[in-house]
Amino acid sequence: MRGRRALIAALVLVLGVVGVKAGSERAAHNLSPEGLAKVSAYIRNEIATGKIPGAILLLQQHGKPVYYENFGVRDAATEMSMSADTIFRLYSMSKPVTSVMAMMLVEEGKLKLDDPVSKYIPAFAGMKVGVEKKAEDGKVALVLEPVNRPVTIKDLLRHTSGLPYGYHGGGMVRELYAEANLFNSNLNNADFVAKIATLPLVEQPGTVWDYGYSTDVLGRVVEVIAGKTLLQFEKERLLDPLGMTETAFFVADPAKFPRIAEPMPEDRNINPTTQVRDIRQPAKWESGGGGMVGTVGDYARFAQMLLNGGTYDGRRYLKPETIALMASDHIGPETKVARDQNYYPGGSSGFGLGFAVRTSVPPGTSWPLGEYRWDGVGGTFFFIDPEDDLFGIFMVQTPSQRGRIQLALKTLIYQAMGR
């Protein structure tokens, strides 16, 4: 126990764990030592069986780390030990950061959720929906139809814009997105959005939750309003004030290259045509949907700010009611928003303005309603559990094992809380 207390004291210094809200030491489910031992054993087994090189898990409750451990190595090639300053590809854990930036502008009255995207990106006024239609000769053609209503800022935040990720075999519109090779184009945000505006939408706006480039377009909207690049605005309003000094869109300093976490050599494919990004290479594309890199300590500050209702270390970033709005379900039955076949939040969750949101308790558990979360295709994930005044962050690089590990770890963590 003395060693554990020393580790937690060291983490307070490393992670800068401050800013817990007053009165948060309320009744909550606590993590049992026996349950946490099973969490540790699970991660060690993943490393021992060659699934992942290493990982970091942080669980923080009432503003203090209650569990933190570095496992294995950053990179199987160098065998350098995992440590708190290891830099990870965050991929879609960038989306909540971009969403927070947009909601800051909403609070300031510079952006409205029901604004059409075309107000800030005029090319969106000409968007059409691609519909597959079969002719009399049996051939299928893509017909472009007008939108029933414009794509709005809210559509971008909740993934109902009709802007999909492309993949082969997903229909004619998704094939067009795949052929556009947007992930590998390395355009700046203005040119990226100009290119995406030439493609059709895959559905009518506001009709289907369809995961894709919505948050990248939102990042460009933020740039247009702020009159700065996305990173400049993020650094000014969020990253620098929070102390997220390692968070960026690539690793600029060669002295930091040895700190980059890498997946196993055979586990580098995001999909059949895209490998994990080399974050040592400068990137023009400041992808609000998937481009950020960072450390566990940086993301812990961001997560604690959200859990605190928008404040951290005496500074307010968002109002509590704004956080509550973001962490509410915006695609519930009353909205008539359908869910695509790849609905990643799962059956017990809806989706808010930047996060999946737990709306029902999974069978056989007592997992908390209102828990909100997201993850990245590189393997990282986080969750915020307001009911237990807790958040968790798991840092790992493994595109192929991420879903299996995330579900197993979440289950073990909540079992350790008696949930």
Q: Tens of pLDDT along 2-26?
A: 455 545 545 554 555 544 444 445 5
Over the stretch 126-138, which tens digit does the pLDDT of each residue have? 999 999 999 888 8
Residue 44: CB atoms within 10 Å: 14
The mean pLDDT of the chain is 94
Confidence at residue 3, expressed as pLDDT on a 0 to 100 scale? 53
CA distances (Å), origin 405, targets 114, 148, 157, 379: 37, 41, 27, 9
Token pair 């000014």 is found at 236
Confidence at residue 16, expressed as pLDDT on a 0 to 100 scale? 55
Confidence at residue 198, expressed as pLDDT on a 0 to 100 scale? 97
Confidence at residue 24, expressed as pLDDT on a 0 to 100 scale? 45
Q: What average pLDDT does range 153-165 have in this prediction?
A: 98
Q: What average pLDDT does range 144-172 have in this prediction?
A: 96
Q: What average pLDDT does range 394-413 have in this prediction?
A: 97
Confidence at residue 6, expressed as pLDDT on a 0 to 100 scale? 47
Confidence at residue 22, expressed as pLDDT on a 0 to 100 scale? 42
Which residues, including other chains, have CB under 8 Å from residue 194's CB and lie 6 or more apart? 123
What's the rounded Cα separation, in Å, for the pair 234 and 354? 16
What's the rounded Cα separation, in Å, for the pair 249 and 52? 24
Confidence at residue 219, expressed as pLDDT on a 0 to 100 scale? 98
Q: pTM of this prediction? A: 0.94
Q: How large a percentage of the chain has pLDDT more than 90?
A: 88
Query: Confidence band (pLDDT; 50, 70, 90) for 184?
Result: confident
Over the stretch 283-298, which tens digit does the pLDDT of each residue have? 999 999 999 999 999 9
Over the stretch 226-283, which tens digit does the pLDDT of each residue have? 999 999 999 999 999 999 999 999 999 999 999 999 999 999 999 887 899 999 999 9
Token pair 């017909």 is found at 143
Over the stretch 74-101, which tens digit does the pLDDT of each residue have? 999 999 999 999 999 999 999 999 999 9
Cβ burial of 48 (10 Å; 0-12, 13-18, 19+) is exposed
Taking alpha carbons only, the member of 416, 287, 317 closest to residue 100 is: 317
**Residue pair 263/203 in contact by the 8 Å Cβ criterion:** no
Confidence at residue 77, expressed as pLDDT on a 0 to 100 scale? 96
**Residue pair 374/326 in contact by the 8 Å Cβ criterion:** no
**Token pair for 213:** 């480039």
Confidence at residue 98, expressed as pLDDT on a 0 to 100 scale? 98
Over the stretch 15-73, which tens digit does the pLDDT of each residue have? 555 444 444 455 689 999 999 999 999 999 999 999 999 999 999 999 999 999 999 99
Confidence at residue 23, expressed as pLDDT on a 0 to 100 scale? 43
Confidence at residue 136, expressed as pLDDT on a 0 to 100 scale? 85
Q: What average pLDDT does range 89-114 have in this prediction?
A: 98
Confidence at residue 14, expressed as pLDDT on a 0 to 100 scale? 54
Which residues, including other chains, have CB under 8 Å from residue 346's CB and lie 6 or more apart? 356
CA distances (Å), origin 390, targets 61, 303, 366, 385, 387: 4, 10, 15, 5, 8
What's the rounded Cα separation, in Å, for the pair 320 and 335? 24
Over the stretch 364-388, which tens digit does the pLDDT of each residue have? 999 999 999 999 999 999 999 999 9
